Structure 1
Amino acid sequence: MAKTSQPVRRAALLASAVAVLGSLTACGTEQHTETASRQLPATGGTTRCHTSELRASVGRMDPGAGQRNFPVVLTNVSSRTCTLHGYPGAAFTDASGRQLGPDPKRTPEKAATVTLAPGRSAWAGLRYASPEVSGARAATPAALLVTPPDEREQLKVRWTGGEVPVGGNASSVFLTVLAPGSGP
């Protein structure tokens, strides 16, 4: 192995470090660009709503032919205007916090940015076939955990809607994109 002088070794190490940092920065930029394209920027200085600025609730059931439909409502409880874009996350849980059934499936819809002034709401439709009609395995959740778009922290809502499908062929639960208001 050939001996290399200390200054040459340092220069080579520095060049390697700069190359690694440059590639990491490029990856970070690509990831940020991808995130930004999913989360459309709002105009007028408003930014997306954070979980701490929202309250979640579940509206009254609107039954359909063998279907159960509930509006899942997110209300801006902050003193600033903020935006939501896309689908909320949702999961039924038992009293110990264990998730019941799979995550809801997203209905194929085009998402729009919803601007929420203080006190205003947006809603997404949560629907599934009645377990009594579909024959799906059912359970009665204690809560519905709602995760606002692009957030990780969840809001817990007491579930009073009765049994939900948690297994079997007809156990799918569906969720729509957010729309302005508090329900249909």
Structure 2
Amino acid sequence: MAKKSPSVQRAAQLASAVAVLGLLTACGSSGGGSASAPSTLPGTAAPATADHSTGPASASASVSASSTTPGAATLTASAPGATPAGTTGGRCHTSELRATVGRNDPGAGQENFPVVLTNASSRSCTVRGYPGAAFVDASGRQLGPDPKRNAGSPTTVTLAPGKSAWAGLTFSNPEVSGAHPATPASLLVTPPDERDHLTVTWSGGQVPVSGNASSVFLTVFSPGTGP
């Protein structure tokens, strides 16, 4: 067997070293080579989570991002808030109420009517204080001055759906007091802290509009439909 020269041996060793280095580079590199495994890059968002027991999250749901790894965010979708029916949501608005006038409970020359507000909405709300009230004729013209307020301590009355509160409306019988009477067509009732009124057909007969003992008085709201 022929003996190789030193230069040939060095060339063979160099070629072998280059081949081994290339193999190590292909197996261990995390760069962009085609032989490297797929990697997860920073900034990739995890899937949004939602309560699947009630179906997909609403398109208007709010999304909050939190991160435990720099550059990586986890998105959490929360359904938009809603006020469930039956919860307390502040004062009652005119559009949520129905007004009626209860039966007269006369006594000692006084006429006493309960003015009743009933919650016609699907939520609980509150009334507090005195109603506004005015008697009007068929053309809408007010009869007599605005009612006065009897002394009282206002309390907040919570009205669940379908529940009522009442305020007393009282005046001296015109035949007894000698006041000038008129027969209203309607009573306008304005809930506390509201501007819009409710119209109730008046069937309580004559009311004093001027002269002696012509004042009409109102009391604060109490729970229920009357005394």
**TM-score tier (shorter):** 0.7 to 0.9
Q: Which letter does structure 2 place at the counterpart of 1:77?
A: A
Larger of the two Rg values belongs to structure: 2
In structure 2, the residue matched to 1:174 is 217
Separation in 1, partners of 2:162, 2:126: 13
2:200 paired with 1:157: yes
Q: TM-score, normalised by structure 1?
A: 0.76
Separation in 2, partners of 1:46, 1:109: 25
What SS does structure 2 have at the residue aligned with 1:52? helix
Q: Which letter does structure 2 place at the counterpart of 1:138?
A: P
Q: TM-score, normalised by structure 2?
A: 0.61
CA contact (8 A) 2:88 2:123 kept: no
Greater percentage in helix? 1
Q: Which letter does structure 2 place at the counterpart of 1:71?
A: P
Uncovered stretches (5+) of structure 1, i.e. residues with no partner = 1-43
Separation in 2, partners of 1:114, 1:183: 14
2:181 paired with 1:135: no
Separation in 2, partners of 1:85, 1:67: 25
In structure 1, the residue matched to 2:119 is 76
Tell me which stretches of 4 or more aligned residues in structure 1 moved more than 3 Å.
Answer: none
In structure 1, the residue matched to 2:80 is none
Q: Which letter does structure 2 place at the counterpart of 1:159?
A: W
Separation in 2, partners of 1:183, 1:111: 16
What SS does structure 2 have at the residue aligned with 1:46? strand
Deviation at 1:169, TM superposition (A): 2.3
Q: Which letter does structure 2 place at the counterpart of 1:99?
A: Q
Uncovered stretches (5+) of structure 2, i.e. residues with no partner = 1-86
What SS does structure 1 have at the residue aligned with 2:95? helix
Separation in 1, partners of 2:143, 2:223: 29
2:91 paired with 1:48: yes
Q: Which letter does structure 2 place at the counterpart of 1:53?
A: E
The alignment-based identity, stated in percent, is: 74
In structure 2, the residue matched to 1:123 is 166
Q: How many residues are aligned here? A: 141
